[in-house]
Structure 1
Amino acid sequence: MAYAGKKLALTELYGDVASSYNELVWYTKELKRRDPGNCVDLQVNDENGKFERVFVAFESSIHGFKYCRLMVYLDGTFLRS
């Protein structure tokens, strides 16, 4: 009973999960319209039209990376001398 109440309250506050994913199309188009320098990529499954992934990089962040220090990362490698 408590679970159903919690689910109802969350739906009232934030809306339905399916409608939230449908708003991603509008959101990505709006990001590109407001600032064409943003890199926005929304991918959906071609067969069923379901959401797969979204990538957002703001233009200011892209240009700011030029001034970051270069680093080399090693992951899962054992260094032996």
Structure 2
Amino acid sequence: MVAIGTIIALAVSVIAAVILFKVLKSLMPLIYNGLIGIAAFWILNLLGITHVSIDIWTFLIAAIGGVFGVAAVIILSVLGVPL
């Protein structure tokens, strides 16, 4: 006979896995945008077109803003506005 504690632990584990899956599924587009933005900043720095510091703020702006966020960071960098 299976103990009640084991059944409760299994149910809690399944619920936690479902919640974690839904949270990660909704965050994946932000992670992709952020990584693509960081790659764009790295390529621009490598080619010497502009110097954009790659840090958590530029990652978050690129992740939330997408292409427009990357463009905004580049414009602010060219204008000399620190982030």
Q: Give the TM-score taking structure 2 as reference length.
A: 0.28
Which has more strand, going by share of residues?
Answer: 1
Q: Give the TM-score taking structure 1 as reference length.
A: 0.28
Which has more helix, going by share of residues?
Answer: 2
The one of the two structures with greater contact order (alpha-carbon pairs below 8 A, sep at least 6) is 2
